[in-house]
Amino acid sequence: MEIIITGGASGLGEAITRKVATDIADATIYITYSKSEQNALKLMDSYPNVRATKCDFANAGEVSDFTAKVKDINPDILIHNSYFGEFIKNHFHKIDAEDYLKSFEMNILPIIKISQQALLCFRKKKFGKIISISTAALINKPPIGASEYVANKSYLEALSKSWATENAGFNITSNCISPSFMETAFTQNMDERVVEEIKNKHPLKKLLTPEEVAETVLFLICAPQHINGISLVMNAASDIR
Ligand SMILES: NC(=O)c1ccc[n+]([C@@H]2O[C@H](COP(=O)([O-])OP(=O)(O)OC[C@H]3O[C@@H](n4cnc5c(N)ncnc54)[C@H](OP(=O)(O)O)[C@@H]3O)[C@@H](O)[C@H]2O)c1
């Protein structure tokens, strides 16, 4: 089984790589990295079934090289995990309008290009799964200052549903996982008091971990093709839609 994980060398992506490399014996895992080269090398040392490629989404050449490589990999599973940018940035009216375009170009266009190539492979073999990491911040009220982030993730969720409906007849699925707050590099700049408050308000009084999300990714990798077009929300029912 050939599995692609974008941003598979750090944060949640690293947890997914470790889980999948350990639990799926026949998997070859193709991870991309942008800044985390050292971590990518360590993962290749630890797991002989992991291969790493640099693909900075800001670099059009690297994105087109990796997209071409997807054809050679001929994947069975594609996991969209990479995200460039901030969770809490600023109030909507204070963000330069061009920033939304730049963020779209960095976060969504590479996903579109990679997915188009992967879907061509999937349709030929009449099997495939796309798993996209979205966010529980899309449930009900978005956090203040997160408009750029939730706009990108809403776009991703909409694409994910289109991939599901357009390709279901080819035995291809597309699902999202929408985690709540996790402590990773992505959230490290948040005020400690805010993080403590999130923890205190959490029904389980503890934060979700990347390892728990990685287990859920593994669940979707192994799930029957009848699970299609969903967003699996991991927020312990703290904010039911
Ligand atoms: N942390 C949370 O609370 C939370 C909650 C819900 C959803 N998520 C989602 O979970 C996913 C992983 O985030 P994380 O929490 O693990 O944060 P993270 O540690 O900051 O991970 C971000 C990932 O994106 C990659 N990336 C960053 N800039 C990139 C670029 N220019 N080109 C290509 N890849 C790039 C990074 O790769 P390098 O390290 O190699 O640069 C890294 O693997 C994201 O989609 C995020 O939106 C996070």
What does the pLDDT profile of the chain (241 residues) look like in tens digits? Answer: 999 999 999 999 999 999 999 999 899 999 999 999 999 999 999 999 999 999 999 999 999 999 999 999 999 999 999 999 999 999 999 999 999 999 999 999 999 999 999 999 999 999 999 999 999 999 989 999 999 999 999 999 999 999 999 999 999 999 999 999 999 999 998 889 999 999 999 999 999 999 999 999 999 999 999 999 999 999 999 888 7
Are the C-beta atoms of 27 and 49 separated by less than 8 Å? yes
Where is 222: in which H helix or E strand? helix 210-222
Q: Is 152 in the pocket of ligand 1 (CB under 6 A)?
A: no
Token look-up 């050292």 returns: 38
> 28 C-alpha to center of ligand 1: Å?
21
Q: Give the pair of three-digit tokens for residue 158.
A: 């909409």
Q: How far is CA 57 from CA 1, 67, 83, 234, in A?
A: 25, 11, 9, 27
Instruction: Give the pLDDT score at 163.
Output: 99
Q: Give the pair of three-digit tokens for residue 196.
A: 């403590």
Q: Give the pair of three-digit tokens for residue 21.
A: 């490399």
88 CA to centre of own chain = 18
> 12 C-alpha to center of ligand 1: Å?
7
Are the C-beta atoms of 226 and 168 separated by less than 8 Å? no
Index of the ligand 1 atom closest to the CA of residue 40? 40
Q: Is 66 in the pocket of ligand 1 (CB under 6 A)?
A: no
Q: How far is CA 8 from CA 95, 96, 192, in A?
A: 30, 30, 27
Instruction: Give the pLDDT score at 80.
Output: 98
106: number of Cβ within 10 Å: 18
Pocket-testing residue among 4, 10, 65, 157, ligand 1, by greatest number of atoms within 8 A of Cβ: 10
**Rounded Cα distance, 27 and 75, in Å:** 10
**Rounded Cα distance, 174 and 87, in Å:** 24
Residue 68, C-beta contacts closer than 8 angstroms, at least 6 positions apart: 117
Residues paired with 130 in a beta bridge = 78, 174
Q: Is 67 in the pocket of ligand 1 (CB under 6 A)?
A: no
Q: Is the pTM of this model over 0.85?
A: yes
> 236 C-alpha to center of ligand 1: Å?
22
Q: Give the pair of three-digit tokens for residue 41.
A: 């090398």
202 CA to centre of own chain = 23
Q: What angle do CA 189, 194, 200 make, to 5 degrees?
A: 135
Q: Is 34 in the pocket of ligand 1 (CB under 6 A)?
A: yes
> 170 C-alpha to center of ligand 1: Å?
30
Q: Give the pair of three-digit tokens for residue 132.
A: 């996209």
Q: What's the pLDDT tens digit per position in 110-142?
A: 999 999 999 999 999 999 999 999 999 999 899
Protein residue with least CA distance to atom 1, ligand 1: 182
> 30 C-alpha to center of ligand 1: Å?
16
Instruction: Give the pLDDT score at 25.
Output: 87
143: which DSSP letter? Answer: P
Index of the ligand 1 atom closest to the CA of residue 134? 7
Specify the amino acid at residue 189: N
**Rounded Cα distance, 37 and 27, in Å:** 22
Q: Give the pair of three-digit tokens for residue 195.
A: 């993080």
